[in-house]
Structure 1
Amino acid sequence: MKKKLVKNYLFIVGFLFMATLFVFSIYHYLIMNNEIPQTGIIYNEKGQAIGSPPYAPSKQSWFGTDRLGNDLFYKIISGAKYTIGIAVGISVIRIMLGMAMGYLFYTLTPFIKRLINSSTEPFRYIPATLFCYFILFPINISNALSVSQKTTIQMIVLILVALPTLSHVFKDEYTQISKKEFVSAARIFGGNHFHIFKKHMLPILKPRLAIQFVQQIIQTLLLLAHLGLLKIFIGGSDFAELFNGEPEYALSTTNEWSGLIGTYFYQLALSPWLLVIPVLFFALTILSMNLILEGLNQSQDNRLERPIDNKSNIDKRKILHKEAFKIIGRSN
């Protein structure tokens, strides 16, 4: 499967975009000390103001600046590690907990299974965005919590909101696998739950885990974008003062992309590039993950296909021709 992924152009393009963006963001943090250039009011030789932020995209500032004069290109790069890292981290924990909870539900009695299904059924219909918003809004505006505390609580909520549905997905997977004949045979011969899971279920689940993992990343990115529009920023929000003394509210403390979208949403009419560029990078990132997902699906499909090949299915050395026989006489 790994060799097929290396030759899959969709997977390569998506992976290279994500990896390049993330590595550049880490470089900006470690080598450039996470510094974001700032351009204030520009004066002419006579001391008269000839320009004030926000500045439109130009050769000096590729993506333009915001109302505080911060270069948007570096804000995008600075926030990439948080956006991608948070989405990947949340997805990993979701998959691990979903597998554990799904297997726990699979081993329970039918009565308890029905009880759990009825209690978790509403989570399939309540939008995750609204559920997270009502929980995280008080935390986002709280001054008693630090940035790390807010981020931890936010990530826990983002993980838990997907577990009811994800655990049911894995429970159904375990149920389907348990109907296989080799699993029934292993159970008859005395195999315990751990042995059956490790030797029979996990090998079948492994190829599907990569696909489920990428899907969770895409869902997390979409959820972050929705929460950003509702001004729920990862790490909370901060306050800043503009050059003319006007206060600017709801600034993202981490430059995470969903925070940038929420911050610049109401400036779309005056400075459209401030919203368009973060949305564009969000869309490109989700597109890259979809390319990776399509590459994984194609690799899975190719793995399941068994092409008919006479050379592989028929051993010509074992074919007996007429010339291979020798007539011998009868013995009296």
Structure 2
Amino acid sequence: MLRKINAFYVGIVMLTSILFISIVIPNLMPEPAIEQFRYHFDQKSLEIPPFSPSSDNWFGTDRNGKDLFYAIMDGAKYTIFFALVITFGRMLLSFIGGLVFKRLFLNNWVSGLLQGFQFVPQSLIVLLVLSPLYFYELRTDSFLSYTETLVIQLVVLIAAGIFPLAKIIAETADSLSQNDYVTCAKHMGSSSLQITIRHVLPHLWPRLFVLSGRQFSQVLTLMLHLAIYHLFIGGVKITSGQVHDQFNNYSTVSNEWTGLISMYHRELMLEPFVVMIPVVAYTLLILCVNIMTKSLEKSLDKQAIY
């Protein structure tokens, strides 16, 4: 099926290239030193961050002098890896739950309850659960380590999408089991397990791949929604913005892209390139995923026609 999908390969190549570069570059080159100012002797002028894109800093720097190219390259692998782990965890648990407890998810009461939760944003649920754990007082450190922070975030983000996704898988499996060949298999004495393995799963797998692509995009969107409220994947570092702490600065620990967008959103009216660079990178990632998902959907539609 995938051999005929050129667009799918384009998305795969783009996604793999981004991930490969993100792993290799930070290991080959050290992070550029932060420069608080630059003095140009020929022009007798003083320049302070943020520095515009140049041969020294390909993407420029932020207001603290941090190199944006290194930050983008370093954060790409975390953004992709976190989204992949959350998507895989959701798909695996929802697949098992949707097939094992199919009758439960098809029950009118349970289905109606889950249908109502679809109108509640997942970002709101996750924010209410995680905020008390990660927003600590200024001048104090978080009581959770980096690993503990990451594990709790992954568990909550996975759990937030399991039940709606399991409902979709259960409904899809039930729809496939209504086909005529499945009915014939039932009359011939096939068990539910045999019907699931031989007749439902072969037609369910392609739909699961499409559903995985949609989930990946939804997880990236969810990460961006959480980042707007300073809840960054991997943890948040809170520092004082002024002497008397009237304003706080929220920084991402892992350099993941949604955290960078949230960190630099104030620069939109001051130095737009600082925030637009992570925005463009995030947009390209969404584009890669959508290209692959749309290609799979078209292939699935063609198979349904024939």
Q: CA RMSD in A?
A: 2.6
One-letter code aligned to 2:134: N
Partner of 1:116: 110
- Following the alignment from structure 2 to structure 1, what is the Cα–Cα distance between the partners of residues 166 and 150? 24
- Following the alignment from structure 2 to structure 1, what is the Cα–Cα distance between the partners of residues 87 and 100? 20
Partner of 2:296: 296
1:20-169 to 2 correspondence within 5 Å? 20-32=17-29, 35-43=31-39, 50-108=46-104, 113-142=107-136, 143-169=142-168
Question: Per-residue deviation at 1:37?
Answer: 4.5
Question: Per-residue deviation at 1:305?
Answer: 4.2
- Following the alignment from structure 1 to structure 2, what is the Cα–Cα distance between the partners of residues 192 and 108? 19
- Following the alignment from structure 2 to structure 1, what is the Cα–Cα distance between the partners of residues 165 and 56? 47
Query: Which of 81-90 and 114-123 deviates more?
Result: 114-123
One-letter code aligned to 2:229: L
One-letter code aligned to 2:280: L
- Following the alignment from structure 1 to structure 2, what is the Cα–Cα distance between the partners of residues 140 and 103? 35
Question: Per-residue deviation at 1:291?
Answer: 1.1
One-letter code aligned to 2:286: I
What TM-score does the superposition give when structure 1 sets the normalisation length?
0.82
CA separation of 1:3 and 1:45: change in aligned 2, threshold 3 A:
closer
Percent identity of equivalent pairs: 32
One-letter code aligned to 1:272: P
Is the aligned partner of 1:11 residue 2:8? Answer: yes
Are the counterparts in 1 of residues 23 and 77 from structure 2 also a CA contact under 8 Å? yes
Deviations 1:39-78 (Å, cap 9, x if unpaired)?
Answer: 33223569x9812211122232121101221110110111
SS in 2 for 1:161: helix
- Following the alignment from structure 1 to structure 2, what is the Cα–Cα distance between the partners of residues 231 and 224? 10
Partner of 1:249: 249
Partner of 2:220: 221
Are the counterparts in 1 of residues 79 and 257 from structure 2 also a CA contact under 8 Å? yes
CA separation of 1:297 and 1:19: change in aligned 2, threshold 3 A:
same
The runs of 5 or more residues in structure 1 that have no matched partner are 307-332
The runs of 5 or more residues in structure 2 that have no matched partner are 137-141
Aligned residues: 298
Deviations 1:231-289 (Å, cap 9, x if unpaired)?
Answer: 110111124689x9x99721100000111011111222222212111111111111121
Are the counterparts in 2 of residues 39 and 71 from structure 1 also a CA contact under 8 Å? no
One-letter code aligned to 1:215: R
Partner of 1:315: none
Are the counterparts in 1 of residues 26 and 70 from structure 2 also a CA contact under 8 Å? no
Are the counterparts in 1 of residues 239 and 248 from structure 2 also a CA contact under 8 Å? yes
SS in 1 for 2:60: coil
- Following the alignment from structure 1 to structure 2, what is the Cα–Cα distance between the partners of residues 26 and 108? 43
Query: Which of 22-31 and 68-77 deviates more?
Result: 22-31
Query: Which of 100-109 and 271-280 deviates more?
Result: 100-109
Are the counterparts in 1 of residues 104 and 110 from structure 2 also a CA contact under 8 Å? no
What TM-score does the superposition give when structure 2 sets the normalisation length?
0.88
Partner of 1:285: 285
Are the counterparts in 1 of residues 50 and 64 from structure 2 also a CA contact under 8 Å? yes
- Following the alignment from structure 1 to structure 2, what is the Cα–Cα distance between the partners of residues 124 and 248? 34
Deviations 1:188-207 (Å, cap 9, x if unpaired)?
Answer: 34433332221111101111
Deviations 1:277-310 (Å, cap 9, x if unpaired)?
Answer: 111111111112111112212222333444xxxx
Higher-Rg member (1/2): 1
SS in 1 for 2:234: coil
- Following the alignment from structure 1 to structure 2, what is the Cα–Cα distance between the partners of residues 133 and 36? 34
One-letter code aligned to 2:15: M
